[in-house]
Structure 1
Amino acid sequence: MDIQALDRTALIEAVAAEVLKRLQQAQTTEPIAISKKAILLSTEPVPVLERILNPYYEVRYYDESVRDCDLLIIPKMCIGLLSYLANGISASARERFVLTMLLKGKRVVVLEEGLLYRKYKQTSPVMLYKLYDGSANKLQSYGIKIARESDLLSACLEDERLAENQEEVHSEDARVDINPQSEILTSKVITEADVKKYRLQNVKEIVVGRHSIITPLAQDYLHTHQMRVRRR
């Protein structure tokens, strides 16, 4: 029998055993990182969204056992769901979950391509289409973000950065007096039209109430025109 061959076999087995042992030790001693949870409100798999979100979130699909999340994505919104949410109606566990996440201040994003009423724009009666358009605007005033699939990740991460910036601004306000030239907005919901009015007056900074909601369109307008926001 070839002794050298036996030695090589024994050496390979020993190395393999040592590697396996170290891998097992690493699995038992290293803490498991818990990522943020994203829920897809869909009854069908949406692999393209999974691929976009997976590096940043633990992605799950909604079922009635889900109680919380950090991010809620609605890939498709039928006119029924749109109408219920716009009027704050929880007709089923699905609507109740979305409304609860909004009440908890969690991020909710609807895909623009998934607003199903919009595919009937060419055939729908004008007033009916405007009704559903108004419902979509209501959702945005509640803090729901409407974003295209291609902009989904940037929209989600932008919301996180915005929250961090608002915390920094709030801390700064605790130390710095409000500029007497700043415009103060006290509305519960601050829209793009509100901030645009002050931009036309060359106002560079606005002060908003601590609990006021700035709609996504207003946030985009403020960012584009480099207008500062302070909370008080």
Structure 2
Amino acid sequence: MNIGKSEVTDSLIDDIIEEVKARMDRMQEETCGCSRTGKVLVLGALEPAEENILRSFAEIQTLQEAGTYDFIVAAQVSIGLLAYTALGIPGQPEAQCILEALLSGRKVYILEKGLEYRRYRESSYKALYQKYQEYEEEIRRFGGEIVSGVQEAAELAVRVWKKDCAPADDSTAFDLTGLKLLGESDLGKMRGTGYRTVLIGRKTIITPLAKDYISNHNLTVRRQQ
């Protein structure tokens, strides 16, 4: 019996989707003892396999039907969308959605392969390419996440849900009590963990840049008793 290449591919995709779904279920049960189905706003087109991964644990909405949603997955980010978002200008409907999500503390996950400017790495003038790299970093500073794929976005989203339903104690804070001086780079280690609270020592000094980072990312700081 001959099995076609497409049949093998479809079977492999189905296996991956089932594994991701099972992984999401385990993470939800282990982290907060509950099962949750979220809503995700997708900007741009996903591949069928990526869409199926998201549908395994979240209800997908498009820009045309956007209502209430828990997080955003930006599958395609044009040069214009990247610039508008980094500059805080709602010049496109997609940019407005991303900025509103970040302002309200919701997560935005941008797929690396969807960043249009990266296609011009070999041909672009260096200074211009670096400008768009700065825009990308600026979005990270705003709280956006650049992820390798939909699966990473899904896992990060579940970790955020974990923090939402966990009790408010020191176990839900990112532990930086060993530092005498808290800098911006130290807080950057929290990126993608889902933590919104950082625990520091009684005498830890917070640098001005760290204070800006805390304010820009709506983080909470607690000192050890």
TM-score band (shorter)?
A: 0.5 to 0.7
1:145 matched to which residue of 2?
145
**Unpaired segments of 5 or more residues in structure 1?**
1-32, 193-204, 216-229
Contact 2:147 2:153 in 1 (8 A): yes
- CA RMSD in angstroms, aligned pairs only: 3.6
1:41 matched to which residue of 2?
43
1:55 matched to which residue of 2?
56
2:7 matched to which residue of 1?
none
Listed one character per residue, the Cα deviations across residues 199-225 of structure 1 (whole Å, up to 9, x for unaligned) are: xxxxxx85687x82798xxxxxxxxxx
- Match of 1:99, SS state, is helix
- Match of 1:212, SS state, is helix
Distance of aligned partners of 1:169 and 1:36 in 2 relative to their CA distance in 1, 3 Å threshold = closer
Cα shift at 1:34: 7.8
Cα shift at 1:59: 1.2
Cα shift at 1:49: 2.2
How is 1:1-232 mapped onto 2 (pairs within 5 angstroms)? 35-42=37-44, 44=45, 46-63=47-64, 65-149=65-149, 152-161=150-159, 164=162, 171-172=169-170, 181-185=178-182, 190-191=187-188, 212=214, 231-232=221-222
2:27 matched to which residue of 1?
none
Aligned length: 165
| Partners of 1:34 and 1:182 in 2: CA distance | 36
| Partners of 1:162 and 1:72 in 2: CA distance | 13
TM-score by length of 1: 0.59
Distance of aligned partners of 1:169 and 1:127 in 2 relative to their CA distance in 1, 3 Å threshold = farther
Contact 1:84 1:90 in 2 (8 A): yes
Cα shift at 1:156: 3.0
| Partners of 1:77 and 1:34 in 2: CA distance | 28
Distance of aligned partners of 1:168 and 1:66 in 2 relative to their CA distance in 1, 3 Å threshold = closer
Cα shift at 1:161: 2.0
Distance of aligned partners of 1:169 and 1:138 in 2 relative to their CA distance in 1, 3 Å threshold = farther
| Partners of 1:83 and 1:136 in 2: CA distance | 9
| Partners of 1:99 and 1:166 in 2: CA distance | 21
Distance of aligned partners of 1:68 and 1:47 in 2 relative to their CA distance in 1, 3 Å threshold = same
| Partners of 1:155 and 1:214 in 2: CA distance | 21
**Identity over aligned pairs, percent:** 24
Deviates more, 1:140-149 or 1:111-120: 140-149
| Aligned residue type for 2:42 | L
Q: Report which structure shows greater RCO (CA 8 Å, sep ≥6).
A: 2
| Partners of 2:216 and 2:151 in 1: CA distance | 20
Contact 1:190 1:213 in 2 (8 A): no
Distance of aligned partners of 1:166 and 1:66 in 2 relative to their CA distance in 1, 3 Å threshold = closer
